[in-house]
Amino acid sequence: MSLVRQSWLLAKNDLVQELRDLEMVMTAAFFTLVVLVMFALSFAALPAADQTLAVPGMLWLAIAFVGALTLTRIFDREREADTLRAVLTWPVDRVAIYFGKLGVTLLVVTGCGALLMPALALLFPAAEVFLERPLESATLLVLGCVAYCAVGTLFAAGLATASGKNVLLSVILYPLTSPALIFALVATRALLEGHPALTTYLGQLAALDAMLVALASWLFEPVLLGNVVKPVRSAPRRRPMKE
């Protein structure tokens, strides 16, 4: 069975469950709204020129927060029910688990971003570009979210199986995803300012995405399972005693 099909089955499983009570979607959407209100209150008085600098930050900060929240929630469920370890014993490619979770997280986070962008455009005149150039905005949103979720999914899964604490995820996640978010930030500013280098930035962001996804999926199984290759030694190596 192909990797794509297994990833799809696992993602669909999560989505079907989510649609039963909509808990995560509702929480994430509401959280987005709350963050938006906070930003509006904090930055409404900014002059138009400064808004161009502030709006990218607002967008990607909000996405970072929603991303951390979503990842925490997705893997909390898995940890409580211990279902992740069950899937690890099934005849399923472990990387499919990664792509399944990535898909679901991406869907939720991008969905929240799709709420954020128009809302920011309504609140801040400088952000109206999001509505005027929807194709570029959507591309930027998706590419940025992929970069964030690619890394976040790996570490959230690792923490879920290593009986680590949730709080560690935030400690790890923000510094780790910041370079990718900076890329997205610069690209967003380029979009708002009508900078000609936007396409270049988007291209670079896409390349970064490809690399992050490849790296994270390569590391997924070793991180979760400690690489179950048979250990070479059956007796401890004897090391020469120091003089």
Site membership for another protein, residue 48 (CB under 8 A): no
Which of 53, 104, 121, 98 lies closest to 213 in space, CA to CA? 98
- Cα–Cα dist 163/177, whole Å: 22
Sign of the dihedral through C-alpha 9, 18, 66, 32 = positive
Site membership for another protein, residue 211 (CB under 8 A): yes
Which of 150, 154, 155, 153 lies closest to 171 in space, CA to CA? 155
Copy the structure tokens of residue 81. 């029910």
Contacts of 194 (CB under 8 A, 6+ apart): 129
Site membership for another protein, residue 105 (CB under 8 A): no
CB nearer to another protein: give 16 or 41. 16
Q: Which of 117, 159, 202, 205 binds another protein (CB under 8 A)?
A: 159
Contact 19, 106 (CB under 8 A): no
CB nearer to another protein: give 18 or 55. 18
177-206 residues in contact with another protein (CB under 8 A) are 178-179, 182-183, 186, 201, 204
- Cα–Cα dist 153/103, whole Å: 10
64-93 residues in contact with another protein (CB under 8 A) are 81-83, 85-86, 88-93
CB nearer to another protein: give 103 or 117. 103
Cβ 34 to another protein shortest distance, Å: 26
Choose one: 50-58, 60-68, 103-111, 215-223; the region binding another protein (CB under 8 A). 215-223
Helices (DSSP H) in the chain: which residue ranges? 3-21, 23-43, 48-81, 83-89, 94-123, 129-132, 134-161, 166-193, 198-225
Which of 113, 170, 116, 164 lies closest to 142 in space, CA to CA? 113
Site membership for another protein, residue 229 (CB under 8 A): yes
Q: How far is CA 212 from CA 33, 69, 208, in A?
A: 29, 20, 6
Cβ 56 to another protein shortest distance, Å: 13
Q: Which of 41, 49, 163, 196 binds another protein (CB under 8 A)?
A: 163
Binding site for another protein (CB under 8 A): 1, 6, 9-10, 13, 16-17, 20-21, 81-83, 85-86, 88-93, 151, 154-155, 158-159, 161-165, 168, 171-172, 175-176, 178-179, 182-183, 186, 201, 204, 211-212, 215, 219, 222-231, 233-237, 239, 242
